[in-house]
């Protein structure tokens, strides 16, 4: 019954293309999923991530970025965490867009608990994926590995707001390792209390002040097919 409710799929089948060597090295063994989004999943896909305890300014920026991306046909990917991630998911739903939640627990669990209705909605009308089977005991490391999977399925990642110890930084570094575009908000780059933006920009992360900067580097579905044939 569980297998029927939560089928599993290989990452390459989820994306609809072969994986390169870097992608294959750390891909999850299986991906369990529930939702109505077509598979292979549509692109372009952008992760909107950031602090769980984001400021009102950060939350507002996340809404605006997500809204503009949605209006341009982008699928919003998020880690279902409090703060920035949740805003990305909700903005996609509110504006008629599409969203993918990559969770750090098995699909029959909800974390954080207050997002229970949101998880139900995404499972019903969008897509929720997890690399953890039902019965897997959740540990903090699972959320770090979840960030790696988010980077793998996203064509680009946007860190809207994050402190020095934010879990979002794991995805930032993974995005750079994969050679994918990583964007950091201008206000974060200019925050002299943070060291990580400068470090990531040394390795190719890009500052942005307008969501159009993100749209310019995103592939179309046809471009993705051409690249991996």
The tokens of 153 are what?
Answer: 């399925």
Q: Report whether 87 contacts 62 (CB < 8 A).
A: yes
Exposure string over 195-212, b if 16+ CB within 10 A, otherwise e? ebbeebeeeebeebeebe
**What SS3 state is found at 127?**
strand
Other CB atoms within 10 Å distance of the CB of residue 226: 10
Domain boundaries in the chain?
2-228
Q: What is the pLDDT of residues 11-47, one digit of tens each?
A: 999 999 999 999 999 899 999 999 999 999 998 999 9
Residue 91, burial from CB neighbour count under 10 angstroms (0-12, 13-18, 19+):
buried
Q: How confident is the model at residue 53 (pLDDT cuts 50, 70, 90)?
A: confident
Distance CA 87, CA 57 (A): 12
Using DSSP, state whether 82 is helix, strand or coil: coil
pLDDT by residue (tens digit) across 104-132? 999 999 999 999 999 999 999 999 999 99
Which CATH code for domain 2-228? 3.40.50.450
Triad 102, 104, 106: Cα angle to 5°: 95
* Pairwise CA distance, residues 68 & 81, whole Å: 21
What is the per-residue pLDDT for 4? 54
127-130 and 31-35 strand pairing:
antiparallel
| pTM of the predicted model as reported, rounded to 2 decimal places | 0.92
pLDDT for residue 212: 87
* Amino acid 1: pLDDT: 32
Average pLDDT, the chain: 91
């Amino acid at each position: 019954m569980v297998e029927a409710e939560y089928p599993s799929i290989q990452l390459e089948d989820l994306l609809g293309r072969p994986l390169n060597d870097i992608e294959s090295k750390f891909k999850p063994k299986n991906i369990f999923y529930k939702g109505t989004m077509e598979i292979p999943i549509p692109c372009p896909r952008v992760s909107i991530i950031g602090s769980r305890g984001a400021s009102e300014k950060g939350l507002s920026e996340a809404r605006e970025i997500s809204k503009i991306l949605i209006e341009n046909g982008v699928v919003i990917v998020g880690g279902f965490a409090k703060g920035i991630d949740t805003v990305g998911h909700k903005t996609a739903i509110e504006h008629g867009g599409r969203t993918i939640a990559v969770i750090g627990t098995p699909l029959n669990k909800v974390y954080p608990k207050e997002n229970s209705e949101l998880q139900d909605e995404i499972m019903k009308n969008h897509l929720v994926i997890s690399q953890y089977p039902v019965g897997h005991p959740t540990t903090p490391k699972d959320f770090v590995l979840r960030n790696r999977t988010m980077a793998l399925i996203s064509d680009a990642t946007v860190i809207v707001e994050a402190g020095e110890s934010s879990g979002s930084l794991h995805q930032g570094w993974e995005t750079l390792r994969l050679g994918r575009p990583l964007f950091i908000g201008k206000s974060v780059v200019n925050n002299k209390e943070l060291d990580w933006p400068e470090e990531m920009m040394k390795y190719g992360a890009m500052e942005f002040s307008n969501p159009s900067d993100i749209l310019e580097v995103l592939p179309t579905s046809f471009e993705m097919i051409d690249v991996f044939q």
